[in-house]
Amino acid sequence: MDLANLVPVPVLLPLLAAGITLALARYPAWQRVVSASTLAINAVLALVLCLAADALGPIVLWVGAWPDGTGIVLVADRLSALMVLVSSVVTALVVIFPSRRDIADGADGAPVSVFHPTFLVLTAGVSNAFLAGDLFNLFVGFETLLFASYVLIMLGATKERVRAGSTYVVVSVVSSTLFLLTISIVYGATGTVSFAQLPERLAALDPGLQLVIQLLLLVVFGIKAAVFPLQAWLPDSYPTAPASVTAVFAGLLTKVGVFAIIRVQTLLFPESPLSDLLLVAAILTMLLGILGALAQGEIKRLLSFTLVSHIGYMLLGVALGTAAGLSGAIFYIVHHILVQTALFIVVGLIERVGGSTSLARLGGLASVPLLAVLYLVPALNLGGIPPFSGFLGKVALIDGALEIGSPLAMIAVVAGVATSLLTLIAVIRVWQRAFWQDQAPDNERVLSVRVLPRIWILAASALVAVTVALTVLAGPLTAYAERAAADIRAGAYQAAVEEAQP
């Protein structure tokens, strides 16, 4: 079998399953079976693709290519294959989570017939964005996942969700319009949108035009990644969606934006004049995000602000531009996808047991020991407590900044350490108030593990177990991230695409 034929499967398989689940709209049980089975197979195939890319180098598939290099190209290098694998694992576990909720909550839950096909389309869009070999196909991937996310964020059509979803839609449409405009400028100036061809053609342009194109792309992807000062939309949008939807949004969608920033900075502008600007954005994203988290009294909003804050760590690695910085950013992206998803899933359990996610109303959740453990493990991981992967990722990024040694890099080190400590304070405050303070008198929810469907417990436990496994496998993952960073800096991506071109 030609491994290149495996590259589009993470995109095509969920789309095929989406059509099947849509046809099964009146049979929710079968929808769940098809969704779970498809995403489980997708995760296995993504693992095969990841191992193959690591062993053989970038795997390239040209679709409808013409001799002049025009066509659609999908590329699975070490970085994109790893991102597809992690996203496949997350979606395979999270799709299990809402199945019982839909039945138990009736009209208040997300409609099953809409959820599963839309969720599968979202999965296909995420995979397509990771595998895209040109700016326009990256745009298609973004639009696919965004259209699906518009439906998912408004499931149930409550007033609160429609209000928050409207903000999300407007911001997404503005960023997509700007992205399309930027693609037009790039194509008009260079005659191509291919990641393999653009580096050489961009280098031939006037430096001022190069800078304008780079700034436009960074603004587009900065909005999607929620980088300061383009992050204000996120804390208001994510917390209102159903727990399973919020978990995927928080874990995956912003990381697609970060991934796109890595592609732009490393492939198109390797000698970036904007490194200091990115460092400043990383520092401000870390600090202002975590300060916003400390001011929150509702857990989902608090975690949404920590999500913004920790995007700053990833941007720090990209801004450093060194092999150490890039490998640290790749490691931290994987860590944060898994830990943030696990935390939002556990918050869904907290809401089910405690009847609220407001810290003013919660209390006494320590009477459910399993829930306490499921929250504490990823919370400590997010806070960077040794020996968890969060600590290892932060140390790698700080080492990369110390290696640079510039005044701005030293400020970034201080900001990174401060953000880690403040994150720990924020998540421990949730632990203390939700689990150990007395339950609020007006909260009549009976605390009992019996209210948690078994499938929820299994899905959340599996996610938390994966975050722990990430710590155990930190050595191999770090080595993989270093090889991925070396590939990026050595130009392996461009060479593989050109070699595979018909």
- For residue 10, pLDDT beyond 80: yes
Q: Is residue 64 left, alpha or beta, with left meaning phi > 0 and alpha meaning psi from -120 to 50?
A: left
The pLDDT assigned to 31 comes to 84
Mean pLDDT throughout 439-451?
52
The pLDDT assigned to 139 comes to 92
The answer to whether 83 and 241 are in contact (CB under 8 A) is no
- For residue 437, pLDDT beyond 50: yes
The pLDDT assigned to 68 comes to 60
- For residue 449, pLDDT beyond 60: no
Dihedral, 194, 195, 201, 204 alpha carbons, nearest 10: 150
Percent of the chain beyond pLDDT 90? 37
pLDDT digits (tens, 9 = 90+) for 257-294: 999 999 988 888 887 778 889 999 999 999 999 999 99
The answer to whether 154 and 168 are in contact (CB under 8 A) is no
The pLDDT assigned to 66 comes to 64
- Please report which confidence band the pLDDT of residue 329 belongs to, taking 50, 70 and 90 as the band edges: very high
Q: What SS3 state is found at 221?
A: helix
- Beta-bridge partners for 78: none
Q: How many CA atoms lie within 13 A of 215 on its CB side?
A: 8
pLDDT digits (tens, 9 = 90+) for 363-403: 778 778 888 899 999 999 999 898 888 899 999 999 989 98
The pLDDT assigned to 360 comes to 81
DSSP string, 2-69: -GGGGTTHHHHHHHHHHHHHHHTTT-HHHHHHHHHHHHHHHHHHHHHHHHHHHHH--EEEEES--TTS
- Please report which confidence band the pLDDT of residue 156 belongs to, taking 50, 70 and 90 as the band edges: low
Amino acid at 453: P
pLDDT digits (tens, 9 = 90+) for 422-433: 999 999 999 888
Show the tokens assigned to 304.
């949404």
The pLDDT assigned to 216 comes to 92
- For residue 451, pLDDT beyond 80: no
Return the minimum-mean-pLDDT range out of 35-44, 103-112, 213-222, 244-253: 103-112
pLDDT digits (tens, 9 = 90+) for 103-144: 334 444 445 578 889 999 999 999 999 999 889 999 999 999
The pLDDT assigned to 42 comes to 93
Mean pLDDT, the chain, integer = 85
Contacts of 65 (CB under 8 A, 6+ apart): 71, 72, 73, 501, 502
The pLDDT assigned to 440 comes to 56
Q: Residue 359 — φ and ψ, nearest 5°?
A: -65, -20
The pLDDT assigned to 366 comes to 79
Q: What is the pTM of this model?
A: 0.91
Read off the DSSP letter of residue 74: E
- Beta-bridge partners for 447: none
- Beta-bridge partners for 298: 358
Please state the domain extents for the chain.
3-500
Burial of 185 (0-12, 13-18, 19+ CB in 10 A): middle
- Please report which confidence band the pLDDT of residue 102 belongs to, taking 50, 70 and 90 as the band edges: very low
Q: Which uninterrupted H or E stretch holds 72?
A: strand 72-76
Show the tokens assigned to 70.
């025009």
Continuous H helices in 133-253:
135-153, 159-190, 198-203, 207-225, 234-237, 243-248
DSSP string, 146-162: HHHHHHHHTTT--HHHH
- For residue 85, pLDDT beyond 80: yes
Select from 375, 385, 318, 382 the least CA-distant residue to 349.
Answer: 375
